[in-house]
Amino acid sequence: MHQSKPGTLFDKVWNDHVVVAESADTPAILYIDLHIIHEVTTPQAFSLLREKGLPVRRTDLILATMDHSTPTTPVTTFKDLEVAGEGAARQVRQMEENCREFGIELLGFESINRGIVHVIGPELGATQPGKTIVCGDSHTSTHGALGALAFGIGTTEVGHVLATQCLLQRKPKTLEISVSGTLARGVTAKDLVLAIIGKIGVDGGTEHVIEYRGDAISSLDMDARMTVCNMSIEAGARAGMIAPDETTYEFLSGRPRAPQGADWDKAVARWAQLRSDDGAHFDRSVSLSASELSPMVTYGTNPGMVIGVNDAVPDRTSDPSFRKALDYMQIAAGKPMTEYDVDVVFVGSCTNSRLTDLQEAADIVKGRQVAAGVRMLVVPGSQQIKKDAEALGLDRVFTAAGAEWREAGCSMCIGMNGDTVARGQLSVSTSNRNFEGRQGVGSRTVLASPMTAAASAIRGKVADPRPYLQD
């Protein structure tokens, strides 16, 4: 890792993985350390290998699981799969077959390690600082929270990585986002990242890799850092990264796929180099303060349409795209979101389904009841988180309040497994996308933090979580 001039965290990881340098005529060939695969974006890639008679080059660098099309009710037989729908069941079975045929270990239904791709990578310690990580899934940016260069790819590229462990890539640009100050009580990493997207726009990061820096970022725990990096793609960025530090090492230490013993010490020494040097060049820089932020909620049909929970929805109705979004959402300009009734509350997804998230939601729900007519669904990000949460009694807090407690999966974040929001219903969701129809045809999604989602479930209307905080 010899840098002649000051480099960014991104530059260092990138440079370490260039197999063939880029030129004016050809992109770089970049080596991939960890390839995460799931059932939705891989079947056509495996078909390609079959057509060409190619094996998988490095089965040892693949982490395979099933999360999108999987039921969140227990699965012990094939029949149990059918609740997710016929297509979903077929896709899950195809994944099992592909992994068997190509010799890939699959964390399937019998595994305690099964879960959402972006939750289990860090949880197992497979996600590590300085690695290049890809997955046929845009929220691969999540893994950047540990100082990895991690980004989503398409299915054709999944095929390239399966066959060669490499990708053709043009070097992206860099965007520094510095966040100063501290988040107030009741305001979380989710609110911070929503505020960032609101500030730079849903295309603000296009063609860039973001590095999040500053006091407000380094004081976040790993779960919160993952929430921030997760939504980098919602700002259009390829990836989001945070330099590894003590918090990162503490999180990784002892995890099953993290280095152990003497290897651990060597790894930490190497990881300690992974930070942007003083004077390193970023193509763009943005800064904001975390201290003034309030809990954030979206009101429109993309994550950049976001306001403080008590603020009035802005009036930009002269813009046809803005008007279309408000019409779809059945939301009026000029009123705060707290005036709207809630039908569904979803706590889950790779953005907010880790133990801290569930704990934050449970702390608000504890000893209270979900409002009449509201359906609240809590879906842990992995089977391990489910188990850990149950050991803390969180499942009983949720079920006693009238919420549903499920098996791990993507669930209502994308509505591919039968868990959907019905047409016209308003959902307060801890997921990452409020696109038209994302949670089901005609669903109206309000993105929020686990605390805001939990408070909204209790109130029956979109709620500021701060009055609901309990000691």
* Span 426-455, contacts to ligand SF4 by CB under 6 A: 431-432
Does position 64 interact with ligand SF4 (CB under 6 A)? The reply is no
Residue 364: Cβ within 10 Å count: 25
Task: Give the one residue of 320, 334, 373, 467 binding other proteins; rule: CB under 8 A.
Answer: 320
Residue with tokens 């982490």: 63
Q: Are 454 and 357 within 8 A, CB to CB?
A: no
Nearest-approach distance from CB 320 to ligand SF4, in angstroms: 28
Q: Are 356 and 451 within 8 A, CB to CB?
A: no
Residue with tokens 């063609």: 207
Q: How many CA atoms lie within 13 A of 276 on its CB side?
A: 20
Task: Give the one residue of 33, 137, 157, 419 binding ligand SF4; rule: CB under 6 A.
Answer: 137
In the stretch 431-470, what mask flags binding to other proteins with x, by CB under 8 A? --x-xxxx--xx----------------------------
CB-count exposure of residue 56 (10 Å: 0-12, 13-18, 19+): buried
Does position 90 interact with other proteins (CB under 8 A)? The reply is yes
Q: 117 or 401: whose CB is closer to ligand SF4?
A: 117
Q: 196 or 410: whose CB is closer to ligand SF4?
A: 410
Residue with tokens 């993985």: 17
Task: Give the one residue of 12, 139, 368, 459 binding ligand SF4; rule: CB under 6 A.
Answer: 139
Nearest-approach distance from CB 466 to other proteins, in angstroms: 31
Does position 100 interact with other proteins (CB under 8 A)? The reply is no
**328 residue type, one letter:** Y
Does position 31 interact with other proteins (CB under 8 A)? The reply is yes
Does position 260 interact with other proteins (CB under 8 A)? The reply is no
Does position 166 interact with other proteins (CB under 8 A)? The reply is yes
Nearest-approach distance from CB 437 to other proteins, in angstroms: 5
Does position 344 interact with other proteins (CB under 8 A)? The reply is no
Q: 18 or 83: whose CB is closer to ligand SF4?
A: 83
Among 422, 387, 392, 431, which Cα is nearest to 407's?
387
Partner from ligand SF4, other proteins, none contacting 33, C-beta within 5 to 8 A by type: other proteins
Task: Give the one residue of 28, 36, 61, 116 binding ligand SF4; rule: CB under 6 A.
Answer: 116
Q: Which two three-digit tokens encode residue 12?
A: 């260092």
Does position 386 interact with ligand SF4 (CB under 6 A)? The reply is no
Range list of H helices, 53-113: 78-81, 86-102
Q: Which two three-digit tokens encode residue 44?
A: 């056509």
Pairing of strands 28-31, 166-169: antiparallel
Partner from ligand SF4, other proteins, none contacting 453, C-beta within 5 to 8 A by type: none
Does position 85 interact with other proteins (CB under 8 A)? The reply is yes
Q: Which two three-digit tokens encode residue 202?
A: 């849903």
Buried b (16+ CB within 10 A) or exposed e, 2-20: eeeeebbbbbbbbebbeee
Partner from ligand SF4, other proteins, none contacting 116, C-beta within 5 to 8 A by type: ligand SF4
Partner from ligand SF4, other proteins, none contacting 27, C-beta within 5 to 8 A by type: other proteins
Q: Which two three-digit tokens encode residue 123?
A: 């949880």
Q: How many CA atoms lie within 13 A of 347 on its CB side?
A: 33
Q: Are 212 and 240 within 8 A, CB to CB?
A: yes
Structure letter (DSSP) for residue 205:
T
Does position 24 interact with other proteins (CB under 8 A)? The reply is yes
Contacts with ligand SF4, residue ranges (CB under 6 A): 67-68, 116-118, 137, 139, 349-350, 410, 413-414, 431-432
